[in-house]
Amino acid sequence: MLEDYPTSLNFIKDLSTIGELLFFGGSIRDYYVYNRYINMPRDFDIAIKIFPNNESLLEEFIGKYVHRKNRFGGYKVKIENIEFDIWNLENTWAFKENKLPAKEDNLVKSVFLSIDGIAYNFNKDTLYDEGLRRSINNKKINIVLNDNPQKDLNLLRALVFKKKYKLDFGNDLKEEYQRSLSIHEDLYERLHQLQYSHYKFEYLTRNEVIEELNSIIS
């Protein structure tokens, strides 16, 4: 997938000498679902399981590239118009908050939505796909780990994925929408507006958001 982007591929190969690279997020999910890339992903999310005593090497390596800090103290690097968001595996939210032990196979168990349950270890050529595979096979999106600091964003993302992949919601996710609606009467508007700050455009019209949420509570 990166063969046509040699500078980016070399960046990944060099980074993999500092630690094991766990690719996760939308770039890996779309390749899994479609068995190809319709368009080259605009970004890749990578959690790095740093080899012992290599913490300083990571900072030194990233310092060679134009970068800025991202969430959880990670780095955002842009190469050949592709963004790489890089986190220390141990600093991802669920691990840092001791929701789960900081292990590579727990990365797919730390997500809110089952459709995010996929990770690929670049160094070992190992795929963790149980959550996503179950979603696709059952045609439903469920909740994996309910504790999450970005609940509204994930409720929005679930609406987007439902439409994109032609899936339905599991009962646990429907109950979460119902809980959120009981707390936030303006949830329709919150989720619709959140698209503009997160995606920078409108995936779902306001009426589509209203129709989806009304179907859950009816």
Band (pLDDT 50/70/90 cuts) for residue 180 is: very high
Higher pLDDT, 37 or 150: 150
Q: What percent of the chain has pLDDT above 70?
A: 99
* Residue 208: its H or E element: helix 206-217
Cα 140 to Cα 106, 121, 146, distances in angstroms: 21, 25, 16
Band (pLDDT 50/70/90 cuts) for residue 4 is: confident
CATH topology of domain 6-135: Beta Polymerase; domain 2 (3.30.460)
pLDDT at 5: 87
Q: Using the predicted structure, report yes or no on whether residue 186 has a pLDDT greater than 90.
A: yes
- Domain ranges within the chain, ordered by starting residue: 6-135, 150-217
pLDDT at 35: 80
Task: Identify the three-state secondary structure at position 98.
Answer: coil
Across the chain, what does the average pLDDT equal?
93
Cα 163 to Cα 159, 169, 204, distances in angstroms: 7, 11, 9
In this structure, the number of other CB atoms found within 10 A of the CB of residue 147 comes to 12
* Residue 126: its H or E element: strand 126-128
Band (pLDDT 50/70/90 cuts) for residue 71 is: low
pLDDT at 3: 77
Rounded distance, CA 124 to CA 74, Å? 22
pLDDT at 112: 97
Q: Using the predicted structure, report yes or no on whether residue 50 has a pLDDT greater than 70.
A: yes
pLDDT at 90: 92
Higher pLDDT, 3 or 156: 156
Cα 193 to Cα 155, 157, 159, 187, distances in angstroms: 13, 13, 13, 10
Band (pLDDT 50/70/90 cuts) for residue 141 is: very high
Band (pLDDT 50/70/90 cuts) for residue 1 is: low
Exposure on the CB side of residue 173, measured as CA atoms within 13 A? 25
* Residue 20: its H or E element: strand 19-24
Rounded distance, CA 130 to CA 115, Å? 10
pLDDT at 42: 82
Rounded distance, CA 39 to CA 47, Å? 23
Task: Identify the three-state secondary structure at position 82.
Answer: strand
DSSP track, 28-78: HHHHHHHSS-SS--SEEEEEEEEPTT-HHHHHHHHTTS-EEE-GGG-EEEE
pLDDT tens per residue, range 53-69: 898 999 999 999 999 98
Band (pLDDT 50/70/90 cuts) for residue 89 is: very high
pLDDT tens per residue, range 162-179: 999 999 999 999 999 999
